[in-house]
Amino acid sequence: MAVNPFAAAVRRAPADRIAVDTPSGSLSYGELVARSEALAQQLEASSGPVLLYGHKEPALIVGIVSALLLQRPYIPVDPVIPAARMTSILNLAQPGAVVATSPLPSAFLAELRHHRIPVIVLDPLAADLMPVPGHCPVTVDYAPEAPAYILFTSGTTGVPKGVAIPYRALWHFTRWLLALRPLWPGHEVFLNQAPFNFDLSVMDLYGALLTGSTLFCITRDEIASPRVLFARLQGAPLTVWVSTPSFARFCLAERSFAQELLPNLRSFLFCGETLSSVVACALLERFPEAEVWNTYGPTETTVAVTAVRVTEEMAGGEEPLPVGWPAHGMELRICQPGGPLCSLPAGAIGEIVISGPQVALGYLGMDPGGEASGFVRLSENRLAYRTGDLGRIDPPSGLLYWHGRIDRQLKLHGYRLELEEIEAHLRHLPGVSDAAVIPVLREGQPDYLAAFLLIDPPASSELAAAEGIALTAWVRQRLSAVLPSYALPRIVQRIDTPPLTPNGKLDRRALVGTLRT
Ligand code: AMP
Lowest average pLDDT, out of 91-105, 321-335, 466-480, goes to 466-480
The CA dihedral of 244, 17, 131, 70, to the nearest 10 degrees, is 40
CB-based burial, 391-422: b 16+ in 10 Å, e otherwise: bbbeeeeebbbbeeebebbbbbbbbbbbbbbb
- How far is the centre of ligand 1, averaged over its atoms, from the C-alpha of 361 (Å)? 19
Calculate the CA 213 to chain-centre distance: 22
Question: What are the C-alpha distances in Å from 458 to residues 353, 427, 455, 471?
Answer: 47, 15, 8, 16
Determine the pLDDT at residue 371: 64
Amino acid type, 296: Y
Sign of CA dihedral 26, 28, 34, 39: positive
pTM of the model: 0.94
Q: Is 22 in the pocket of ligand 1 (CB under 6 A)?
A: no
DSSP run (H or E) holding 251: helix 245-252
Q: Is 41 in the pocket of ligand 1 (CB under 6 A)?
A: no
Mean pLDDT of 254-280: 96
User: CA nearest 306: which of 333, 273, 284, 328?
Assistant: 328
Best residue among 203, 273, 387 to mutate for probing ligand 1's pocket (most ligand atoms within 8 Å of CB) is: 273
Mean pLDDT of 420-426: 93
Q: Is 98 in the pocket of ligand 1 (CB under 6 A)?
A: no
Whether the per-residue pLDDT at 373 is higher than 80: the answer is no
Max CA-CA distance within the chain? 75
Question: What are the C-alpha distances in Å from 301 to residues 98, 117, 127, 163, 387?
Answer: 26, 30, 35, 9, 9
Mean pLDDT of 335-351: 93
- How far is the centre of ligand 1, averaged over its atoms, from the C-alpha of 119 (Å)? 34
Amino acid type, 11: R
Mean pLDDT of 209-238: 96
Summarize pLDDT for 379-404 with one digit per residue, the tens.
777 899 999 999 999 999 999 999 99
Best residue among 390, 407, 408, 411 to mutate for probing ligand 1's pocket (most ligand atoms within 8 Å of CB) is: 411
pLDDT band at 498 (very low <50, low <70, confident <90, very high): confident
- How far is the centre of ligand 1, averaged over its atoms, from the C-alpha of 272 (Å)? 4
C-alpha angle with apex 131: 125 to 133, nearest 5 degrees? 155
Whether the per-residue pLDDT at 213 is higher than 80: the answer is yes
Determine the pLDDT at residue 459: 60
Q: Is 298 in the pocket of ligand 1 (CB under 6 A)?
A: yes
Summarize pLDDT for 445-492 with one digit per residue, the tens.
899 999 999 888 766 666 766 777 888 999 999 999 999 999 999 999
Query: Which domains does the chain possess?
Result: 325-405 (2.30.38.10), 411-514 (3.30.300.30)
Mean pLDDT of the chain: 93
